Amino acid sequence: MPKSVISLHPPWTTVFQGDRVNLICNGFQFYAPENTTWFYKDGWENTQTEHPGNTLVVCKSGEYKCQVQGSLPSDPVSLRFVTGPIILQAPHLVFEGDTLILRCQRRGKDKLISAKYKQNGETVFDSKDSNQGLDLFIPQASLSNSGSYECWGYEDKNTFFKSDTKIIKIQELFPDPKMKATDPHPTEGNPVNLSCETQLPPARLDTPLHFIFFRDDKAILSDWSNSSEIQIPTIWRENSGKYTCGAETVTHSVYKHSLPLEIHVQRIPVSQVSIEILPPDGQAVEGEKLVLVCSVAEGTGETTFSWHRENTKQHVGQKTQRSQRAELEIPNIRESHTGRYYCTADNSYGPIQSGVVNITVRGIPGKKSGLIALGTCGGFLMLLMAVTLLFYHRCWRKPVHPKEEDLLYSEIQIIQLGDKEKANTSSAPPEDNCASIIYSEVKTKLPDKSAEKVGSKEENAMKGGKNVLPM
């Protein structure tokens, strides 16, 4: 439950005898209280009274407290009504960052021409040397401004009065913040909440503060914000370090920094590494896609997955990612990929190996064509010539004209010249340098009488290639 707070008007705690001071009791409701309880203590006198509203006018020295409904009793306020010729007036409460005004006040209508102020016996301000007036004015008070003060008031060059000594204590607006985390030893991949905790005094609960967060005094985790908490949605081991925070008033008058909080992010080593293949039976067809999947049952952070071929120790692929599963795709598998495979996973604790799987790649039946090889230069042209030659041969041999069911098969072989053959044909025209030698066989089953009727014209027509007809 919050405390009630007393404010003074005028703000001084030391006044002349016969003056009046208004004490105002503030709670934390949005409306003025119907009644306020006031407590007064001075020597043997100790009273408690209830007054309507929240204002009390007083003219006696002593200690005052108040309490409104829904709040705890306030801290005490000490008032002094004095009869001396001069007094040093100071506010009831002065916090860090506040403007501190000290006033050297003369009784009655007599005026001072200058004033001098001493702190702990040392002069800190003399109005004769300044044009700022008679008051001591400190724009932003700090804890170092606390101390024992007195003033010297001058009516003329030779006449002065010395005030009583007054102890002034600058109040701390808020203590150094404390850096806290929901878990200072979190596990990788989990969220972590950070908070920058401090506390304003009851009299200044309405003072707005801004907060900022750092790691290792360099990495800013957030810009200035009115929120004293932030969340790291997913923390990793590289996020380990010393975390600090800062709190500051929006007017930049007070800034305070926390001590560092060491956050060590835990990493879980990989375990139970396994490999699987798609298709799952390990039987693949040449030309199809094959996928090798490497996965772990446990493990956090960046994991390096590697795939290997067992019999050759060949390294066939590697991926590094924040995941417990990775895939290696072979888009066009060949028979040469047949073998035994395994994978490893490593997240900085050393590689862990999976079991071994067998992969068998089958060729496609009938995939090999009668076309054995084409020349790299003009291959398409040579194929066209071969087909034309075969067509010409069949059309020219009209007397033979075998029946369709008698044609067993035809075979065209296009064989690329090797390096030696190319060397022997260096005298050929340039366009023939990379031509292929074409062999054509048309094999048919003909009646015996048809073979006897083959004329010389047909033989002369086929002299461009080798044509063997079985008898």
DSSP per residue, 298-335: B--S-EEEEEEETTTTEEEEEEEESSSEEEEEESS--G
Say if residue 375's pLDDT is above 60: no
Task: Name the CA radius of gyration of the chain, rounded.
Answer: 51
Is the CA virtual torsion 350, 355, 356, 357 positive or negative?
A: negative
CATH topology of domain 274-362: Immunoglobulin-like (2.60.40)
Residue 144: φ, ψ to 5°: -70, -15
When pLDDT is averaged across residues 132-147 and rounded to a whole number, the result is: 93
Find out whether the peptide bond into 279 is cis, omega within 30 degrees of 0.
yes
Say if residue 413's pLDDT is above 60: no
d(Cα 437, Cα 382) in Å, to the nearest integer? 9
User: What integer pLDDT is reported at residue 27 of this predicted model?
Assistant: 78
User: What integer pLDDT is reported at residue 442 of this predicted model?
Assistant: 41
Say if residue 382's pLDDT is above 70: no
pTM over the 0.85 mark? no
Domain 178-263 has CATH 1.10.4000.10: no
349-367 confidence digits (pLDDT tens) = 999 999 999 999 988 766 5
Six-digit token string for 170:
């600058």
d(Cα 171, Cα 155) in Å, to the nearest integer? 34
Domain 178-263 and domain 274-362 have a common topology: yes
User: What integer pLDDT is reported at residue 422 of this predicted model?
Assistant: 39
User: What integer pLDDT is reported at residue 414 of this predicted model?
Assistant: 41
Six-digit token string for 251:
């007017």
**Out of 167-176, 216-225, 378-387, least confident range:** 378-387
Say if residue 106's pLDDT is above 60: yes
143-158 confidence digits (pLDDT tens) = 999 999 999 999 988 8
Domain 5-168, CATH number (from 3.20.20.140, 3.40.50.1110, 2.60.40.10, 3.30.70.260): 2.60.40.10
When pLDDT is averaged across residues 424-443 and rounded to a whole number, the result is: 38
Say if residue 23's pLDDT is above 70: yes
Say if residue 424's pLDDT is above 90: no
User: What integer pLDDT is reported at residue 32 of this predicted model?
Assistant: 64
Q: Is residue 184 a contact partner of residue 264, using CB atoms and an 8 Å limit?
A: yes
> pLDDT over 70 for what percent of the chain?
76
Q: Is residue 3 a contact partner of residue 73, using CB atoms and an 8 Å limit?
A: yes
Say if residue 230's pLDDT is above 70: yes
Query: Mean of the per-residue pLDDT values for the chain?
Result: 80
* pLDDT bucket at 227, cuts 50 / 70 / 90: very high
Number of residues assigned to the chain: 471
Six-digit token string for 336:
């040469």
Domain boundaries defined on the chain? 5-168, 178-263, 274-362, 379-461
| Residue tagged 């008898």 (tokens) | 471
- Those residues whose C-beta lies under 8 Å from the C-beta of residue 194, and which sit 6 or more positions away, are 179, 180, 181, 213, 221, 229, 230, 231, 232, 243, 245
288-346 confidence digits (pLDDT tens) = 899 999 999 999 999 999 999 987 777 899 999 999 999 999 999 998 889 999 999 99
User: What integer pLDDT is reported at residue 465 of this predicted model?
Assistant: 36
CA distance to 211, 384, 395, 398, 406, per residue, from 458 (Å): 102, 21, 10, 9, 19
User: What integer pLDDT is reported at residue 443 of this predicted model?
Assistant: 42
Range 387-403 burial, b when 16+ CB lie within 10 A, else e = eebbeebbeebeebebe
Residue 395 host element (H or E): helix 379-396
User: What integer pLDDT is reported at residue 311 of this predicted model?
Assistant: 78
More confident residue, 201 or 282: 201
